[in-house]
């Protein structure tokens, strides 16, 4: 009887144990399969971070700071904490603590993680594995995102307390926390990009480090001030325009993060790879995004001044990108030639996404002017917009910005082309030439004005059209001086010359990959031999 008594519970216990172990084993299998699909860099760095002093010490310090602020804040805000809304005051303290790891430590750790790969010689063995450059950089950013989430999780109970203390809405809390996460993400992407610059230009490692420090600390400071104001005002977006602004800011931040990652991947990928096409698509995507945001803004603001803002943004966007684009090597590697467009339509539209300084120049200028043409045609689609003097001023402004892009980038490219055999570093040379041209654009009109005017006053003359900032801030004088027509014609001529010179790049045709490579790259199963229909 005793044996029976013992047997029954033991049997049920073993059944329960088996069930638990079965669930455990399934869970382990599931998590193993899940981790198998994860980015190897994320797995490796998480393992390292969990053992590293930096992460453990930082997390402990953050927890300690949270504890100290909770006690200090509560005692400072007593006794009104019991009857008045004190959530914002407490949240300000918590956010100041959170911004240190998310805005400074995490981006800095990401920068160090990437630059250490180069300095400690581990990058070479990593780069010859089958991990792509994209996987490497996204892995680094994924680790940063994970660390940020851990810091946010550490703060989560305190955030709940601030909500209970009243004075804060759920929307404000979500916006503030989302902004901190986004800030960390953008800065981490920038840090990875800055670290890869050190790999490409080893002499600039100190400069990249300073650049990373300056950028992250400045952005964190600005964002911090904005967030603190937002909290103290308990700011809630109350109309569609404000919500639209938030969405636009988030999309812009994400698009820049993406661009930084593309640039970082291009910096570390193999030299014969096509570095340009992916970046050009990203930059073009941003261009489309800016234009879309401004078109959408017409729903809220019917004013052509917004287009002048758009042309300024696009002008800076294409000038910066164009300055680097025209410095690309003119040689197209056989690997890149395998990716050239093939059909007539694709060659017409997609050739400009292929690497090369000539295609890069045309790509920048044409993309910019496509936005200008869009603005000219906009009243046809949005009937509320009349084509009055405001539109014509905006279009003149846009045309002048486009002419500057076409002239300065075009002349820089022609000089680079002429001195190609003697140039050692195309990027440095190209940027130096462009800077010199822009400086001459400032000095020549000033000298001309100084020498021609009897009372030694510097006045706006038609020659002053060469000065970018002067002309763009004096649109009335530009239109009156007549220099606008001359400069637009000059831009058209420079563009035509560059277009003629780029014809050899357009004539390039795709080269086929060797048969073995095609077989190797074909999806599995497609390289199986076809059944011989004559075989019996």
Partner 1 sequence: MLYQASHPLIELRRLHRFYGKTHAVNDVSFEVDRGQVFGFIGPNGAGKTTSMRILATLDLPTYGDALIDGFSSITDPDLVRKRMGFMPDGFGTYPYMNCEEYLDFFARSYGMVGMERVRGVRRVLGFTGLDKIADKPINGLSKGMRQRLSLGRAMIHDPAVLILDEPANGLDPRARIELRQMIRQLAVDGKAILVSSHILTELAEMVDHVGIIERGNLLAVGCLDEIRRKMQGSTVIEVNLLENADQCRIWLSSRTPTLKIEQQGNRVRFDFSGTEREQAELLRSIILEGFFVLAWTAETHSLEDIFMQITTGAVQ
Q: Is 29 helix (H, G, I), strand (E, B) or coil?
A: helix
Residue with tokens 């900032």: 469
Q: How far is the CB of 341 from partner 1 (least distance, A)?
A: 19
Residue with tokens 């990437």: 114
Residue 271 touching partner 1 (CB under 8 A)? yes
Which of 26, 44, 504, 510 forms a contact with partner 1 (CB under 8 A)?
A: 44
Which of 1, 9, 33, 526 forms a contact with partner 1 (CB under 8 A)?
A: 33
Angstrom distance (rounded) from CA 374 to CA 380: 10
Tokens of 429: 């040379």
Tokens of 218: 């400045």
What kind and span of H or E run contains 342?
Answer: none
User: What length does the chain have?
Assistant: 536
Tokens of 172: 């404000």
Which of 121, 421, 523, 525 forms a contact with partner 1 (CB under 8 A)?
A: 121
CB closer to partner 1 out of 274 and 481: 274
CB closer to partner 1 out of 130 and 456: 130
CB closer to partner 1 out of 15 and 122: 122
Q: How far is the CB of 427 from partner 1 (least distance, A)?
A: 18
Considering only the stretches 48-56, 339-347, 442-450, 484-492, report the one whose residues sit in contact with partner 1 under the rule CB under 8 A: 48-56
CB closer to partner 1 out of 202 and 370: 202
Q: How far is the CB of 272 from partner 1 (least distance, A)?
A: 5
CB closer to partner 1 out of 37 and 384: 37
CB closer to partner 1 out of 331 and 531: 331
Angstrom distance (rounded) from CA 422 to CA 409: 20
Considering only the stretches 14-22, 42-50, 369-377, 438-446, report the one whose residues sit in contact with partner 1 under the rule CB under 8 A: 42-50
Q: How far is the CB of 160 from partner 1 (least distance, A)?
A: 33
Taking 3-state DSSP, the helix, strand and coil percentages for the chain, each rounded to the nearest 5, stand at 80, 0, 20
Instruction: Provide CB contacts within 8 A for 417, sequence distance 6+.
Output: 330, 357, 501
CB closer to partner 1 out of 55 and 311: 55
Angstrom distance (rounded) from CA 244 to CA 367: 25
Q: How far is the CB of 140 from partner 1 (least distance, A)?
A: 13
Q: How far is CA 301 from CA 237, 293, 305, 307, 383, in A?
A: 17, 12, 9, 11, 14
Q: How far is the CB of 516 from partner 1 (least distance, A)?
A: 6
Q: How far is the CB of 131 from partner 1 (least distance, A)?
A: 5
Backbone angles phi, psi at 528, to 5 degrees: -70, 140
Tokens of 112: 């160090």
CB closer to partner 1 out of 49 and 175: 49
Alpha-carbon radius of gyration of the chain:
30
Considering only the stretches 34-42, 259-267, 308-316, 390-398, report the one whose residues sit in contact with partner 1 under the rule CB under 8 A: 34-42
Angstrom distance (rounded) from CA 403 to CA 397: 10
Considering only the stretches 69-77, 97-105, 264-272, 501-509, report the one whose residues sit in contact with partner 1 under the rule CB under 8 A: 264-272
CB closer to partner 1 out of 109 and 168: 109
Considering only the stretches 37-45, 196-204, 279-287, 406-414, report the one whose residues sit in contact with partner 1 under the rule CB under 8 A: 37-45
Angstrom distance (rounded) from CA 141 to CA 147: 10
Judged by CB under 8 A, the chain residues 516 through 535 that form the site for partner 1 are 516-517, 519-521
Judged by CB under 8 A, the chain residues 337 through 356 that form the site for partner 1 are 338
Q: How far is the CB of 53 from partner 1 (least distance, A)?
A: 9
Judged by CB under 8 A, the chain residues 279 through 338 that form the site for partner 1 are 333-335, 338
Residue with tokens 């995507």: 285
Q: Is 285 helix (H, G, I), strand (E, B) or coil?
A: helix
CB closer to partner 1 out of 79 and 514: 514
Backbone angles phi, psi at 304, to 5 degrees: -70, -10
CB closer to partner 1 out of 88 and 139: 139
Residue 43 touching partner 1 (CB under 8 A)? yes
Q: How many CA atoms lie within 13 A of 236 on its CB side?
A: 8
Residue 360: is the preceding peptide bond cis (ω within 30°)? no
Segment 491-500 long-range contacts (CB within 8 Å, at least 24 positions apart)? 491/402, 491/403, 491/404, 491/406, 491/407, 491/410, 492/406, 494/406, 494/407, 494/410, 494/411, 494/414, 495/365, 495/406, 495/410, 497/410, 497/414, 498/358, 498/361, 498/362, 498/410, 498/413, 498/414, 499/362
Which of 11, 21, 28, 47 forms a contact with partner 1 (CB under 8 A)?
A: 47
Judged by CB under 8 A, the chain residues 122 through 151 that form the site for partner 1 are 122-131
CB closer to partner 1 out of 152 and 265: 265
Site residue total, partner 1 (CB under 8 A) = 36
Residue 218 touching partner 1 (CB under 8 A)? no
Angstrom distance (rounded) from CA 115 to CA 194: 9
Backbone angles phi, psi at 269, to 5 degrees: -75, 170
Considering only the stretches 7-15, 40-48, 72-80, 256-264, report the one whose residues sit in contact with partner 1 under the rule CB under 8 A: 40-48
Which of 27, 270, 281, 349 forms a contact with partner 1 (CB under 8 A)?
A: 270
Residue 129 near residue 163 (C-beta atoms within 8 A): no
Which of 5, 36, 238, 239 forms a contact with partner 1 (CB under 8 A)?
A: 36
Q: How far is the CB of 11 from partner 1 (least distance, A)?
A: 34
Lay out the site mask for partner 1 across 147-176 (x = CB under 8 A, - = otherwise): ------------------------------
- DSSP letter for 30, please: H
Binding site for partner 1 (CB under 8 A): 32-33, 36-37, 40, 43-44, 47-48, 51-52, 120-131, 270-272, 333-335, 338, 513, 516-517, 519-521
């Amino acid at each position: 009887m005793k044996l029976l008594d013992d047997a029954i519970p033991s049997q049920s216990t073993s059944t329960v144990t088996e069930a638990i172990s079965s669930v455990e084993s399934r869970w382990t299998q599931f998590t193993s399969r899940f981790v198998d699909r994860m980015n190897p860099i994320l797995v490796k760095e998480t393992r390292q971070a969990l053992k590293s002093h930096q992460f453990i010490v930082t997390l402990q310090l953050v927890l300690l700071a949270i504890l100290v602020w909770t006690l200090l804040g509560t005692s400072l805000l007593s006794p009104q904490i019991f009857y008045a809304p004190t959530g914002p005051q407490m949240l300000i303290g918590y956010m100041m603590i959170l911004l240190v790891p998310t805005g400074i430590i995490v981006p800095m750790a990401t920068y160090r993680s990437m630059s250490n790969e180069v300095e400690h010689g581990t990058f070479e063995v990593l780069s010859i594995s089958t991990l792509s450059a994209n996987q490497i950089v996204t892995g680094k950013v994924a680790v940063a995102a994970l660390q940020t989430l851990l810091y946010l999780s550490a703060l989560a109970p305190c955030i709940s307390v601030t909500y209970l203390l009243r004075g804060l809405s759920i929307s404000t809390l979500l916006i503030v926390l989302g902004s901190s996460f986004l800030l960390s993400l953008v800065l981490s992407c920038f840090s990875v990009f800055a670290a890869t610059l050190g790999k490409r230009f080893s002499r600039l490692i100190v400069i990249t480090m300073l650049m990373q420090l300056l950028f992250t600390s400045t952005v964190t400071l600005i964002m911090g001030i904005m967030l603190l104001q937002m909290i103290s005002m308990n700011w809630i977006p109350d109309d569609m325009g404000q919500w639209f602004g938030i969405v636009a800011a988030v999309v812009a931040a994400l698009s820049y993060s993406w661009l930084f990652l593309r640039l970082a991947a291009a910096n570390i990928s193999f030299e014969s790879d096509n570095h340009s096409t992916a970046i050009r698509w990203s930059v073009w995507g941003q261009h489309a995004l800016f234009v879309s945001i401004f078109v959408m803004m017409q729903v809220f603001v019917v004013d052509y001044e917004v287009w002048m803002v758009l042309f300024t943004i696009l002008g800076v966007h294409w000038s910066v990108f164009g300055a680097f684009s025209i410095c690309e090597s003119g040689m197209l590697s056989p690997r890149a030639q395998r990716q050239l467009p093939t059909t007539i339509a694709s060659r017409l539209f997609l050739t400009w996404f292929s690497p090369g300084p000539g295609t890069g120049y045309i790509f920048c200028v044409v993309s910019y002017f496509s936005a200008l043409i869009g603005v000219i045609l906009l009243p046809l689609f949005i009937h509320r917009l009349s084509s009055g003097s405001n539109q014509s001023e905006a279009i003149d402004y846009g045309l002048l910005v486009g002419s500057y892009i076409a002239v300065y980038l075009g002349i820089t490219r022609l000089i680079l082309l002429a001195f190609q055999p003697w140039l050692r570093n195309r990027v440095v040379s190209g940027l130096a030439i462009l800077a010199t041209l822009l400086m001459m654009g400032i000095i020549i009109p000033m000298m001309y004005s100084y020498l021609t005017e009897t009372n030694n006053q510097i006045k706006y003359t038609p020659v002053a059209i060469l000065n970018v900032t002067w002309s763009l801030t004096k649109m009335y004088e530009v239109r009156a001086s007549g220099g606008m027509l001359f400069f637009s014609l000059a831009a058209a001529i420079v563009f035509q010359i560059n277009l003629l010179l780029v014809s050899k790049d357009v004539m390039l045709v795709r080269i086929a990959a060797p048969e073995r490579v095609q077989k190797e790259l074909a999806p599995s199963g497609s390289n199986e031999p076809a059944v011989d229909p004559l075989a019996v």
